[in-house]
């Protein structure tokens, strides 16, 4: 099967289908061709829905409302931890039930109602616990450098987009699991605030920490996908809106003491601050620390959420050693009455006080470059904990708060060429503001849509 070059944006593809310049079937066949050619080197996909996706694309082309569909014919990838009707949901583990799911997750149903076609399910680390995507099913590699991880736990989705296999993908984020892969792979990734998008993830959505959201190449595509996932059509135009002149705090220190931040991420954050200052915003550098008690509460939620998800498995004896130990720690914590909502409320109070005189917070996307693409599931529990907390500490506090946050690319490392990134955080209800300011950064310092090896690549 021949393929077209790496796809343009979802917004442009949907417009082409709506105007009759192409068809959903054509777009889906091209996407499947790219997956067949590129995924053997990347390992992004758990399931490729080749025949089923073409059949569904045919149905999209025949819809009476085709000309009004916001995602008309757009090929999308869905993370393999939400139900997709007719497909197994393995959640990165042989301990899961391989029986096909009987219905779609609400977010998948909304994507399909908007005209998108699910071309495949993307790989995750086991039970989505850690920030590097590997499992018994394989290692997912970063399209920018295949010796590095694409991040986790939405690493398969990020890799699929960064390699130009699909223009956009679904992900979810319990402690940074959209934003970490976005930072690793040079993408836009937004975690909405609580109750904006249906979560319904695992056994209690990690005590309400986890949210569904998009991984995309542009801010406009993130706004479009989020508008569909949230069933808020007005969000689609957020990327083109003027945010006004805002007060933006900048912090380059990790939220927990003792975690060093790579100087290139510090420089990239300050450079982004300079761009925003030039756009008329008022920038002030501050430090925002998470208290030891709140840090421990986050770790307790991480472990206890894993235990609750492990309870859904059909054979938890087949879990890898580090994930099984993570779950056992969670079992002990649950018996002790942890995590407690009071710790989460205390962190929210700290965050609200910090934001009393600022509108947004700007931080680095990561503290260190992506981890090695390796079988982390075969390494020790403590080694996994140290690796995750040291390279990606900036995301989890905003899951604890339940506040929206977005990661966008901002240049490349001078040493390795891997992407650099920044994170923007807003108080509840700030998704549109985040998108509009992120779009300003995109306009002032554009980034590549896909990894260099896949820019303009064509299969024959």
The domain limits of the chain are 10-247+366-454
Ramachandran region, residue 170 (left: φ > 0; alpha: ψ -120 to 50; beta: rest): beta
Name the H helices within 63-190.
106-113, 155-162, 179-185
- Rounded distance between C-alpha atoms, residue 374 and residue 148, angstroms: 8
Cα distances (angstroms) measured from residue 190 to each of 54, 56, 61, 197: 29, 27, 30, 12
The CA distance from 70 to 64, in Å, is: 14
pTM as predicted: 0.97
| Active-site pick, 96, 135, 150, 153 | 153
Q: What's the half-sphere exposure (Cβ side, CA atoms, 13 Å) at 16?
A: 16
Task: Name the catalytic one among 11, 79, 154, 205.
Answer: 79
| pLDDT score recorded for residue 8 | 86
Give catalytic status of residue 240 as yes or no. Answer: no
What is the three-class DSSP state of 182? Answer: helix
The CATH code for residues 10-247+366-454 is 3.90.1300.10
Query: What does the alpha-carbon distance between residue 306 and residue 177 come to, in Å, rounded to a whole number?
Result: 14
Q: How far apart are the first and last CA of the chain?
A: 8
120-149 residue pLDDT tens: 999 999 999 999 999 999 999 999 999 999
CA geometry: angle 210, 130, 364, nearest 5 deg = 75
Predicted confidence at residue 457, as pLDDT, reads: 57
* Cβ neighbours of 341 (radius 10 Å): 10
Distances, alpha carbon 261 to alpha carbons 219, 248, 269, in Å: 26, 20, 11
Q: What is the pLDDT of residues 277-289, one digit of tens each?
A: 999 999 999 999 9
Q: Which residues are 77's β-sheet partners?
A: 120, 169
Active site (annotated) includes residue 177: yes
Residue 379 is a catalytic residue: no
377-422 pLDDT tens trace: 999 999 999 999 999 999 999 999 999 999 999 999 999 999 999 9
Residue 456 is predicted with a pLDDT of: 72
Helix, coil or strand: residue 187: coil
Q: Which residues neighbour 166 within 8 Å (Cβ) at sequence distance 6 or greater?
A: 7, 31, 34, 35, 75, 76, 77, 119, 120, 160
| pLDDT score at 460 | 23
Annotated catalytic residue within 150, 177, 272, 320: 177
Residue ranges of E strands in 82-224? 117-122, 134-135, 138-139, 141-142, 145-149, 168-173, 188-191, 211-216
């Amino acid at each position: 099967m021949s393929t077209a070059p790496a796809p343009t944006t979802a917004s442009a593809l949907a417009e082409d289908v709506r105007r009759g310049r192409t068809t959903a079937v054509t777009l889906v066949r091209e996407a499947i061709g790219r997956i067949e050619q590129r995924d053997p080197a990347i390992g992004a996909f758990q399931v490729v829905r080749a025949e089923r996706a073409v059949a569904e694309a045919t149905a999209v082309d025949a819809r009476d409302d085709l000309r009004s569909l916001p995602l008309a014919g757009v090929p999308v990838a869905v993370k393999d931890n939400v139900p997709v009707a007719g497909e197994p949901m393995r959640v990165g583990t042989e301990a899961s039930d391989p029986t096909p799911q009987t219905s779609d997750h609400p977010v998948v149903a909304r994507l399909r109602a908007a005209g998108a076609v699910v071309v495949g399910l993307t790989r995750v680390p086991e039970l989505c616990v850690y920030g590097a995507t590997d499992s018994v099913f394989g290692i997912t590699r970063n399209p920018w450098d295949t010796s590095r991880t694409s991040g986790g736990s939405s690493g398969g989705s990020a890799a699929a987009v960064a390699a130009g296999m699909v223009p956009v993908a679904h992900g979810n984020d319990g402690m940074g699991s959209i934003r970490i892969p976005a930072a690793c792979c040079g993408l836009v990734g937004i975690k909405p605030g609580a109750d904006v998008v249906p979560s319904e993830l695992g056994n209690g959505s990690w005590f309400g920490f986890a949210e569904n959201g998009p991984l995309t190449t542009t801010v406009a595509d993130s706004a479009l996908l989020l508008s569909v996932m949230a069933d808020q059509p007005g969000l689609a135009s957020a990327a083109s809106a003027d945010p006004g002149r805002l007060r933006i705090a900048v912090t380059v220190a990790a939220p927990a003491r003792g975690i060093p931040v790579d100087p290139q991420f510090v420089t990239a954050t300050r450079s982004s601050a300079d761009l925003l200052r030039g756009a008329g915003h008022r920038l002030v550098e501050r430090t925002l620390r998470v208290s030891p008690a709140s840090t421990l509460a986050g770790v307790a939620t991480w472990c206890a959420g894993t235990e609750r998800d492990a309870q859904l498995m059909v054979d938890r004896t087949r879990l890898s050693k580090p994930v099984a130990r993570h779950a056992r720690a969670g079992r002990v914590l649950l018996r002790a009455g942890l995590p407690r909502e009071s710790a989460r409320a205390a962190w929210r109070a700290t965050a609200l006080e910090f934001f009393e005189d600022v509108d947004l917070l700007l931080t680095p996307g990561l503290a260190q470059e992506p981890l090695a693409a390796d079988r982390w599931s075969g390494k020790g529990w403590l080694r996994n904990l140290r690796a995750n907390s040291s390279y990606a500490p900036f995301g989890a506090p905003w899951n604890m708060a339940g506040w929206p946050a977005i990661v966008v690319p901002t240049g490349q490392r001078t040493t390795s060429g891997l992407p650099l990134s920044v994170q923007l955080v807003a108080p509840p209800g700030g998704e549109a503001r985040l998108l509009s300011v992120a779009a300003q950064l995109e306009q002032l310092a554009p980034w590549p849509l896909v990894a260099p090896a896949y820019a303009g690549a064509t299969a024959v």
